[in-house]
């Protein structure tokens, strides 16, 4: 997927819901929501707030595995939306023993991709066709931030 087919985004905020968490993803032009389960929502919120954990969580473990393998998260892409379900790709790179660079694309839930990207300070992208399909939720985000109903520390980079 070329750079012209994706839109740079960031996690703007995360708010608890009855069934999990609402992750507001977007940029200055537009924001949309991805709903995630409570465990991943908690991991995303803790990473956004740079909170330390007593014991490593799954996303910490994945980051440590990547680090041990000499792999780096290049970027994540929310690459599809079908029947109410978002799809994501985790793009990692590493060098082999001969110094050749290898890039691997892994199919993953966008929620996991977001948690890992935030943990690794990696870029977040949304496929252009997904971006265009999503309704702009910027006004709702502003209202929720005014009510301060979220986990705090909104507008993470």
Residue-wise pLDDT for 109-118, tens only, equals 999 999 999 9
Handedness of CA 152, 130, 27, 87 (dihedral sign): positive
Per-residue pLDDT tens listing for the chain (157 residues): 555 699 999 999 999 999 899 999 999 999 999 999 998 998 899 888 888 777 778 888 898 899 998 899 999 999 999 999 999 999 999 987 788 889 999 999 999 999 999 999 999 999 999 999 999 999 999 888 877 655 544 444 4
CATH class of 3-147: alpha beta
Q: Give yes or no for a contact between 7 and 27, defined as CB atoms under 8 angstroms apart.
A: yes
Give the chain's radius of gyration (CA, Å): 16
Phi/psi for 138 (5° steps) reads -60, -45
pTM of the predicted model as reported, rounded to 2 decimal places: 0.86
């Amino acid at each position: 997927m070329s750079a012209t087919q994706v839109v740079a985004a960031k996690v703007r905020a995360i708010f608890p819901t009855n069934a999990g968490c609402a992750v507001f993803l977007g940029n200055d032009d537009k924001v949309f929501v991805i709903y995630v389960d409570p465990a991943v929502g908690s991991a995303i919120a803790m990473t956004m707030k740079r909170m330390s954990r007593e014991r490593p969580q799954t996303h910490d473990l994945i980051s440590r595995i990547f680090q041990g393998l000499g792999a780096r998260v290049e970027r994540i892409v929310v690459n599809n939306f079908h029947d109410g379900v978002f799809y994501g790709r985790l793009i990692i790179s590493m060098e082999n023993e001969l110094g050749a660079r290898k890039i691997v694309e892994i199919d993953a839930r966008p929620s996991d991709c977001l948690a890992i990207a935030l943990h690794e300070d990696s870029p977040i992208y949304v496929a252009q066709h997904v971006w265009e399909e999503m309704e702009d939720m910027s006004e709702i985000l502003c209202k929720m931030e005014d009510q301060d109903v979220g986990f705090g520390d909104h507008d993470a980079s």
